């Protein structure tokens, strides 16, 4: 099965403007597959994953680039950040003599951002278009149009209705293309994620970070998966995995920069009531999250105590994908006051100085009380756009004049 990626056309459009494109994302989300599919026939491909190729690039970056002239795809470029100044030199020379020829010279991919973004910003500012890529979105899997999610612009778009059982089966499988496009993803689910984690630990964590004990890091990874959709508590993570608080913070930064998790920060401004400062943490793939937390079947997961956190994690991930697939970086936050009985809104989208509140509930019935906290946003003294309650309720409908009920399966 082949799934058309929404991001491909946005990359091709950017290729007509930038000299360099950088596509970042976790391993196995389909970066290389998509680039090779949309590349012109004359565009070369070279991967820096093999150690011999990587060594040649490190020892003599100028010669490596001469042997792999543009147009070229350089895969896993984070392994050799030494290349960036030389790419800049080549790009600038071409831009001086023939600006049109300078467009789309280098396509780069990277599966971590440990030092990648710093080197890019220092060497290629103004010359590079940067895109984030996630696993397959729900709309990509269903062959539907994808636009950046805002409740007021939302359209179900003929999405197929899903029962809660079908929804949680989709959530449990996750979004990695290799698994989802296989002939029998349920059969290979456990094998795929077992191999994925081993590759992640051995290639990314061991080689690119200072992690003394991979077994301890794996325990931290499992403990983090069990806390997705919750406020980040480093003390609890450190205690449960037998590490120090500074080490817990370091390990979380590894998960974030290798695109395994995303941190969502609380929204604040000078007019607001006292707000918490702690971010919430979300895994970016619910299949990986389910594997790490030992939910062996979607049926058990759907009825388990963690189902609500999985549901919220999946919805937040889909909202993120809707922006990333259109080449955009959303301003996403959450809302939580510091009161004894705090007010909380799961997601705030800020666009054009307007706040759009989103509440996420794993429920198949509508309750107006689920969105009563939206009125708390008046303390910000900002325009409030159309809000949304995302749930398992199967139809798009109005809860109030400016609040929609949106089925999660239609995201």
* Domains of the chain and CATH, by start: 7-132 (3.40.50.300), 142-410 (no CATH)
Distance between CA atoms of 23 and 129, rounded to whole angstroms?
Answer: 9
Handedness of CA 107, 108, 111, 117 (dihedral sign): negative
pLDDT tens-digit profile of 114-127? 556 666 767 787 88
Query: How many CB atoms neighbour CB 231 within 10 A?
Result: 15
Query: How many CB atoms neighbour CB 145 within 10 A?
Result: 9
Lowest mean pLDDT, pick from 14-18, 160-164, 234-238, 344-348: 160-164
Query: How many CB atoms neighbour CB 376 within 10 A?
Result: 18
pLDDT tens-digit profile of 378-404? 888 889 999 999 999 998 989 998 999
Nearest to 273 by CA among 378, 402, 119: 378
pLDDT tens-digit profile of 6-23? 999 999 999 999 999 999
Lowest mean pLDDT, pick from 109-123, 163-177, 208-222, 233-247: 109-123
Three-state secondary structure string covering 71-105: CEEEECHHHCCCHHHHHHHHHHHHHHHCCCCCCCC
Query: How many CB atoms neighbour CB 13 within 10 A?
Result: 11
Enter the DSSP assignment of 229: T
Contact between 11 and 2 under an 8 Å Cβ cutoff? The reply is no
| Residue % of the chain over a pLDDT of 70 | 96
Distance between CA atoms of 47 and 56, rounded to whole angstroms?
Answer: 12
3-state class percentages of the chain: helix first, strand second, coil last, to nearest 5: 45, 20, 40
Contact between 137 and 6 under an 8 Å Cβ cutoff? The reply is yes
């Amino acid at each position: 099965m082949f799934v058309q990626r929404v991001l491909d056309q946005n990359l091709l459009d950017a290729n007509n403007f930038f000299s360099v494109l950088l596509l970042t994302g976790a391993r196995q989300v389909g970066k290389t597959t998509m680039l090779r599919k949309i590349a012109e026939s004359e565009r070369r491909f070279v991967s820096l994953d093999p150690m011999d190729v990587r060594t040649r690039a490190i020892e003599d970056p100028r010669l490596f680039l001469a042997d792999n002239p543009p147009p070229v795809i350089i895969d896993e470029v984070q392994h050799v950040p030494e290349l960036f100044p030389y790419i800049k030199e080549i790009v600038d020379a071409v831009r001086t003599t023939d600006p049109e020829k300078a467009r789309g010279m280098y396509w780069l991919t990277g599966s971590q951002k440990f030092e990648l973004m710093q080197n890019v910003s220092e060497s290629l500012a103004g010359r590079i278009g940067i895109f984030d890529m996630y696993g397959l979105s729900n709309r990509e899997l269903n062959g539907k149009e994808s636009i950046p999610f805002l409740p007021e612009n939302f359209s179900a778009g003929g999405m197929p209705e899903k029962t809660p059982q079908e929804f949680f089966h989709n959530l449990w499988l996750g979004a990695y293309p290799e698994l989802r496009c296989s002939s029998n993803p349920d059969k290979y689910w456990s094998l795929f994620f077992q191999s994925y984690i081993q590759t992640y630990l051995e290639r990314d964590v061991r080689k690119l970070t200072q992690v003394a004990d991979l077994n301890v890091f794996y325990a931290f990874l499992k403990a983090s998966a069990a806390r997705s959709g919750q406020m980040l508590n480093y003390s609890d993570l450190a205690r449960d995995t037998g590490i120090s608080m500074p080490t817990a913070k370091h390990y979380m930064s590894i998960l974030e920069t290798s695109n395994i998790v995303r941190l969502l920060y609380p929204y604040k401004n000078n007019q607001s009531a006292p707000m918490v400062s702690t971010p919430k943490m979300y895994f970016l793939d619910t299949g990986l999250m389910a594997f790490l937390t030992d939910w062996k079947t979607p049926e058990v997961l759907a009825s388990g105590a963690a189902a609500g956190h999985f549901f919220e994690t999946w919805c937040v991930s889909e909202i993120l994908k809707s922006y990333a697939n259109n080449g955009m970086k959303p301003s996403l936050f959450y809302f939580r006051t510091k009161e004894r009985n705090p007010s909380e809104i799961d997601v705030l989208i800020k666009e054009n100085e307007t706040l759009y509140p989103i509440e996420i509930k794993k429920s198949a019935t509508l309750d107006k009380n689920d969105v009563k906290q939206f009125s708390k946003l008046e303390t910000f003294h900002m325009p409030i756009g159309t809000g949304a309650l995302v749930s398992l309720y199967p139809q798009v409908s109005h809860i109030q004049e400016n609040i929609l009920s949106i089925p999660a399966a239609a995201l």
